[in-house]
Structure 1
Amino acid sequence: MNVKLTLLDTGYCRQLEMFSIKGGRLKSIDFHAIAALIEHPVHGLYLFDTGYSPRFFEATRLFPYALYQKITPVVTTPQQSIKAQLSAHGIEAQRISGVLLSHFHADHIGGLQDFPGAKLFCFSAAYEHIKGKRGLSALREGYLPDLLPSDFEKRVTFVDHGVPKALSQTYQPFSQAYDFFGDGSMLLVDLSGHAIGQFGLFLRDQEQGDVLLCADAAWSSTAYRQNLLPHALAQFIMGDIRSYRENLKRLHELSVHWPSLKILPTHCAEVWQMSQGVFAWRS
């Protein structure tokens, strides 16, 4: 079953390109935070992550969380929040049935509190890894506790508590995934590494064909196409560098044998362009 995918740019942070990819320039570049609206013909509207929102600045006002903003300066406006973008296109927040959280870094959960009525979905491994962490311990994980709704545990479903299904050879080297709706339209695959318990999402857009939203399993399309790891300093902040290497290699292999698949990293400049083009708002 096909869905309709719209990419939403929620702002950006600035960091040296050399940290994101081996051989990158000693030049500060923009890393846009892309989230996605998924319109399912049967089940309604869902979000894949929520990107930044102005709430990020309140969450980083005091030490030690202020270090986050100093290390990776963030630029976003109220109009760029997911909630505001949806409202501008006639979609009120209460129409969002659920939010799929690829992982709990602040640039992925920044707008989460704007959707108090939505069901929440993540991998239990991701939540257990950040649960209860505060201060420097949370900051080390790229997690800002004030961005998480107070009723999170009442609303969340842990997708990885279900039974995964075997994938066809088309998806190799990925062999299994969680069938979100049971109709094959949205398949969640483990992409741990950048963060513990991170997942990606396979779907088929009704116009653009097969897509993999791979979150931060790669920071750019160049990285997975050439299987290029980030700078050693960036690897130091990975949740599990061994899994990161393995999943980056899997993405590379997938891109080689399935060239028509559109693999979309959250922070990639090419994806940012797509968010203004083929995956922009469509009537």
Structure 2
Amino acid sequence: MSGCEPGDSVGAFLCQAGQVLRAAAVEAPRQEARLLLAEAMGCRQEDLLRDPRAPVPEAAQARFRQTLSARARHVPIAHLLGHAGFWTLDLLTSPATLIPRADTETLVEAALDAFPDRRAVRRVLDLGTGTGALLLAALAEFPGAFGVGVDRSPEVAALAHANARRNGLAERAAVLAGDWAAALTGRFELVLSNPPYIERAAIMGLMPEVALHEPALALDGGPDGLDAYRALAAALPMLLAEGGRAVLELGQGQRGPVEAVMEAAGLRACGCRDDLGGIARALVLESGS
């Protein structure tokens, strides 16, 4: 950021940072510049806008230059901030797992549609829990439920547990490191999963924030993108309680193929909810028996 000397104003830093991010083809350069500067200064974005002539402290300048440079290299902003919003939660993030996305909130909406009586859900399971986003959002909405999150990575499972504490839900959540349903017994009224579903050959064609900075294990759905769904199809009949529902995230164009995989395992699609972009995102399943 040439031209930004110590004592330069908030407005000058934001102007030049917006230019840097725009040149790097970051999608929302002005908004992200505000986020990064507010984080560096330990204030709210509103405070920056209230007094654009205010000086930026030297320590904040150094922090801001560092994070701005990383963002221009397409390091995800959630990794730079260390947290991200999801549903009503604020979640710690890590390069070891996917960043929570607004599209995934569609699964929470679908679960609420499936259980209008919030008391009907007593046990929740989240397979591939990552940050714990789905598990914790469900527990926030079904106040009488206890939830279990499973992730293959012990590091990620520890992050989800930290997020349960951060959001006041630790007493109602258990997070396990394991191979999805392999170590589970018992049945659940609600099973949630955002599995890996990107076709392996397509991963490097994704936006650089995803392809270069999010874990391949959480993205790679195998040659056709359906490997994780096949594993879920084998496990779900043993995990769903009577009257239970599973809600799975889908990639674009995957509704038909995933329904076929599930029906072959004795599961029946009983609903599907689109995300805000009109993509079939949340498939709702019930036992076919």
Instruction: Report the TM-score when normalising by structure 2.
Output: 0.35
Q: Which has the higher helix share?
A: 2
Greater relative CO (CA pairs within 8 A, separation 6+): 1
TM-score by length of 1: 0.36
The structure that has the greater radius of gyration is 2
